[in-house]
Amino acid sequence: MDAFYAAVEIRSRPELRGRPVVVGGGPERGVVLSASYEARAYGVRSAMPSARAHRLCPQAVFLRPDFATYAEVSRAVMAVFRSVTPLVQPLSLDEAFLDVAGALRRLGMTPLGIAASIREQVAASQGITCSVGVAPTMFVAKLASRVAKPDGVHLVPADGVRAFLDPLPVGALWGVGERTAEVLDRHGIATVADVAAAGYTTMRRAVGDAHAAHLVALAHGVDERRVDPHGREKSAGAEETFARDLVDPAVRRRELLRLADRAARMLRHRGVRARTVALKVRFDDFTTITRSRTLPAPTDLARDLHATAVDLLDALGDIAPVRLLGVRGEGLVPADRAPEQIALGEPEHGWSDAERAADQARSRFGVAAVRPASLLGDPDPTRARSPADAAEKARDGHRPQPSVSRATSPPEPNG
């Protein structure tokens, strides 16, 4: 999808069309989750600190994210993809790989014809645009989709893969980050063509055995992976950068409950349970640490995630003011393969039934319908509201207004 979060927001606010729009943290704190192309013209990018985005584009409209709406639109878009082929591997809310080899025969269409059909259906049903890369391998298709942006299609035929790859910077290769690019630059390797020409021996001296083989294969256009429609994400969670650093331990535990509740809902929605709970903490000096603990049995309950996250936080002792907290479930397993472990003496209907009943109420009446009691009130009325609060207001008939807010969740990976 093209600037997915921003596009969904603009769709519901036509008056913002043509204006720079930033979704995520407000001008003071947090990170950019999505930016319209008008904002990108000023240098604003996903994952950029919001303060920097505001300096680059002070006239931008900053909006709080509404993840419930984004998830709803994502489900509709993925349904369009699956109407073309069952071989769909989502990468995130706004991106997926499709294997259309069988669809070419079944639909009697060319690859470009299928790409055009998908883009037309998404635009007609959801009012947003997407860009499509068409290629013989997943890696090249991914790069081609970037070239196609915004709102376009780019085809790389099998006999044109090397011509497409060769001039690209070495950073285009999966697995080449900023540091690896610096190492390769010292060896005179700046483009994908340079990697292919250097070969395995030279690359091994630069980056080691395993990495060298991987990069040389990609530079030659070789990618053996296949679209896996059954592939599952490895983790699910939520994190927030706060408008004010958290000093009070009670407030930190309260915010962990909010995050655990969101993470648990995400796990149940995906039909998975987590073997491990991970805690992420970023302090006021931007130092970031993570701690994790494997559970006796997999869980999808906020109660379990919260209790473990609190234990991990308390184990840190007396800590500096906290800028960001995150709770994540890892080591995910299908819920139907990880039956709940009932402790001796527990009632027949316990926390699991309660949280699932809450899910049903939320799906019918909105997220604000049911939540932990300690999250009902906000002791500090000047505190920036969370994205979940913004989504709840929207579902209750109130239009979210541009504001300073706390930024959460990963930014869009490609868009």
Catalytic residue ranges = 95
Q: Which residues pair with 408 in a beta bridge?
A: 240
State the Cα angle at 215 between 87 and 210, rounded to 5°: 100
* Residues in the chain, total: 415
Of 359, 413, 410, the closest CA to residue 30 belongs to 410
The structure tokens listed for 63 are 């909006």
Give the strand pairing for 288-299 and 132-134.
Answer: unpaired
3-state secondary structure of 111: helix
Q: Residues with Cβ < 8 Å from 361, sequence gap 6 or more? A: 369, 370
- CA separation for the pair 299, 294 (Å, rounded): 11
- CA separation for the pair 406, 26 (Å, rounded): 7
Taking a C-beta distance cutoff of 8 angstroms, is the pair 326, 280 a contact?
yes
Q: Residues with Cβ < 8 Å from 347, sequence gap 6 or more? A: none
Taking a C-beta distance cutoff of 8 angstroms, is the pair 390, 64 a contact?
yes
3-state secondary structure of 10: helix
Of 9, 70, 10, 3, the closest CA to residue 41 belongs to 3
The structure tokens listed for 226 are 């296949």
